[in-house]
Homo-oligomer: A and B are copies of this chain.
């Protein structure tokens, strides 16, 4: 995701220590962190970073299409840096664990014109829910 920093600089982003740190936190393994979790991890690298800046930066990354907001959790929004490979989510109803999934077929194609009511449909979000192996054993 160091490409990310390049791309953003190209778009006129002023580069600050805070923004670099937020980008670092989102980089690497596929995560689905809440804003608060991002803040906690960012503080570990840059103790004085504020919550407001984390929210600001996440909001900008979302506007720029570099990060997705996902609402799998009925509590806080989660931020998904895997924005360039379309995918959906599988969520454990018990513990909240989230996995990226890639279903067969295209759900957009499954919505016939007669069910579009004149909308211009541009996007579809699919959330599978179930019980993960860990929680199944515990039950």
* Chain A residues in the interface with B (C-beta under 8 A): 69, 71, 74, 77, 90, 92-93, 99, 101-105, 107-108, 110-112, 115-133, 136
Are the CB atoms of B128 and A111 closer together than 8 Å? Answer: yes
How many monomers of this protein are in the complex? 2
From B90, B112, B126, A119 is in contact (CB under 8 Å) with: B90
Report the bound CA distance from A110 to B124 in whole Å: 15
Q: Contacts A77-B74, A110-B105 known; A123 to B133 CB distance under 8 Å?
A: no
Report the bound CA distance from A116 to B92 in whole Å: 11
Are the CB atoms of B133 and A129 closer together than 8 Å? Answer: no
Chain B residue nearest to A117 in the complex (CB) = B99
From B101, B105, B115, B122, A129 is in contact (CB under 8 Å) with: B122
